[in-house]
Structure 1
Amino acid sequence: MKPEDNMNIIFVGKRHEASRVLSLNGTVAFVLAVFVAALLIATAWGGYSIAVSQVEAREPSESELVAEWKRKLDEQKEELAVLQQNVQYQVDALTLRLGEIQGRLLRLDALGQRFVESGLVASDEFDFNEPAAVGGPEDSLSADSFAAPDLTRMIDELERKMQDREQQLRLLDQVSSRQKLEDELYLEGRPITWGWLSSPYGYRSDPFTGKRTWHGGVDLAGKEGSDIISVAGGVVSYADERHGYGNLVEVDHGDGLVTRYAHCKTIKVSVGDVIQKGQVLALMGSTGRSTGPHVHFEVIRNGKSENPETYIKRASR
């Protein structure tokens, strides 16, 4: 409808009486129509707003609350599971590192025990079978447990210190081993624990013929059955009977040096045995060409005999 057009409004009575006609020009009719439309839109918007507010104001039902709480609990369970998994990873990693540290500590204890046995440190001062003694007054302040990052830093620092100590101990062990090996191979002392020199090295009157003969060793007399010991570390190269010597033990000390122990009653070692200084090789006897219980002791270097008294009188290292 255009504004210049006229609009007629007819009013009809309740009882069908005579009707009345209201004639409006186009402009007034247009304004009236716009007003009515705006009123309808406002009424509809108000009704919608009221309906929305009522829906929002409505309290949720019990089933809806249960479903919401269940959803939140499921989310928290998932977060807790992830957290537990992360914590377990950290615990596993720390456990693995502690296992490695324990193994390294066992090696350090073994090295320390070797130093004690070698005499480099006093056994009553360092007991590697017991934990180190520590102590102190209790702090009156409350103590807190270590956190995982703190433990990790402490383990890192401990590993660095252990690495330094291991390197130092390895060097000391090498020096100690060389020193111990040199001491073991150092030939000195008597091949008996008790007895006396009954015949020297060199020319002598043969006890059976009385003639002047060469004696390539020394005789040390003692009690039958007493110990005959090695004067240095080495390997047994002979352990059997030999003409004139009776039961004979021969020890190779390396570098062309060999010692012989003859007239033994009983041999206590076998060929190939690794011998330590002071180890019992045999028991004193009078087998072979002998007049009584003693040990005939020889020192041979590069196939030539040397005076054993030089080594018997040698000072210990």
Structure 2
Amino acid sequence: MKVILVNDRGGVSRSFNFGGLSKALLGLCLLGLPVGAFFIGANLPATESDVFDSRAVKAWNKALRKQQDQISDADQQAREQLTALTVKLAELQGRLTRLDALGERLTTIAKLDEGEFQFGATPAVGGPEESGIAGAGDLPYHPPEFLEVIGDLSDQIEDRQMQLQTLDSLMSRQQLQDEQFIAGRPITRGWMSSRYGYRTDPFSGRRSWHKGVDFAGKRGSDVVSVAAGVVTWAEDRYGYGQLVEINHGNGYKTRYGHNSEIKVKLGDIVKKGQVIALMGSSGRSTGPHVHFEVYKNDRPVDPASYIRRTGR
């Protein structure tokens, strides 16, 4: 086999002669080049772009599934919270209804002026619009309807609580005044045996001044306070025997004399109608009775006008 190589510059050519062995080696090389190239290409690793695309798709799919799970959980939690808020709203509405009924009932009992406490009406509010505030010219913000209902209900409950607190204060003050209001008889059983003013003294037979009234009855009968107050005397006193004196405030005090037994002690706070002693005949007395006196600004007054009073 003869191979001729020609030089394009000078036209010079060279020739080579190959024997049988050379021919075989040359053919083998020429045949092995494409085969080798094929195997080398098949065994080469994937390119960087191919690896990046495959891994990215897997990561994106995983992140997408995670986000979908999170959205599903958030939706479930929102539904549960909405259900709980709906139940709470119904509970608040029920409480508001009961507060309104209680307020109207207390207003009736307290005999307050009609319209002073309106528990069934929406609270009246107002005030001038403030100018010069940033964003004042923008459109007003409208929260979701559900939040508006919750806010309105909260405002109504707060208003009812304020009204009830004021009403409670008024009723407490009125109740205290009623308790301190001197009215009624100091006994539960018996009759008036001697009035206030001049009378014939049962011991000396002379005309004398009687600065109280006497109520006769059965020994051991209850003697009661005609008003709330503080006990300022609860022991024996000359002429009165076993005496109870009660200060009712506002310059008023009462005395209950000739008792057989005293049921209270100095410093006790007593209520209207409370039993403070038992009827007896201690001290300067001709028989079981209660000597009852009323003092206003340390001056004795006729108890009759207070006895005929009715409670507030």
Match of 1:170 among 141, 165, 189: 165
Unaligned runs of 5+ in 1: 1-13, 22-53, 121-147
Cα separation, 1, equivalents of 2:107 and 2:247: 27
Contact 1:198-1:219 within 8 A present in 2 as well: yes
5+ residue gaps, structure 2: 9-45, 113-142
Closer/same/farther in 2, CA of residues 313 and 17 from structure 1, 3 Å limit: closer
Aligned to 1:206: 201
2:174 aligned residue (165, 170, 179)? 179
Distance (whole Å) between structure 2 residues aligned to residue 171 and residue 18 of structure 1: 123
What is aligned with 1:222?
Answer: 217
RMSD: 5.1
Matches within 5 A, 1:1-317: 16=3, 70-76=62-68, 151-317=146-312
Report the Cα offset of residue 197 of structure 1: 0.5
Instruction: Look up the equivalent residue of 1:233 and give its one-letter code.
Output: A
CA offsets, 1:133-154, max 9 Å, x none?
xxxxxxxxxxxxxxx9555332
User: Following TM superposition, by how much is the alpha carbon of 1:276 offset from its aligned partner in structure 2, in angstroms?
Assistant: 2.4
- Choose 281-290 or 296-305, whichever is displaced more: 281-290
Amino acid at match of 2:224: I
The number of residue pairs the alignment matches comes to 243
Alpha-carbon distance in 2 for matches of 1:218, 1:18: 162
Mark the CA change 1:244 to 1:116 in structure 2 (over 3 Å): closer, same or farther.
farther
Aligned mates of 2:186, 2:5 — CA distance in 1: 161
- DSSP-derived class of the 1:156 partner: helix
Tell me the alpha carbon deviations over residues 150-180 of structure 1, each in whole angstroms, 9 at most, x when there is no partner: 5533221112112222333334334333433
SS at match of 2:243: strand
Partner Cα distance (2:233, 2:109) in 1? 30
Q: 1:98 to 1:221 in 2, by over 3 A?
A: same
* Deviates further, 293-302 or 231-240: 231-240
Cα distance 1:96–1:228, how it changes in 2: closer, same or farther (>3 A)?
A: same
CA distance in 2 between partners of 1:251 and 1:307 (Å): 17
SS of structure 2 residue aligned to 1:182 = helix
| Residue 67 to residue 15, structure 1, CA distance change in 2 (3 Å) | same
SS in 1 for 2:174: helix
The TM-score, its normalising length taken from structure 2, stands at: 0.59
**1:89 and 1:261 mapped to 2: Cα distance?**
67
Instruction: State, as a whole percentage, how many aligned pairs show the same letter.
Output: 43
Displacement after TM superposition at 1:274 (Å): 2.4
- The 1:295/1:107 distance shift into structure 2, 3 A limit, reads farther
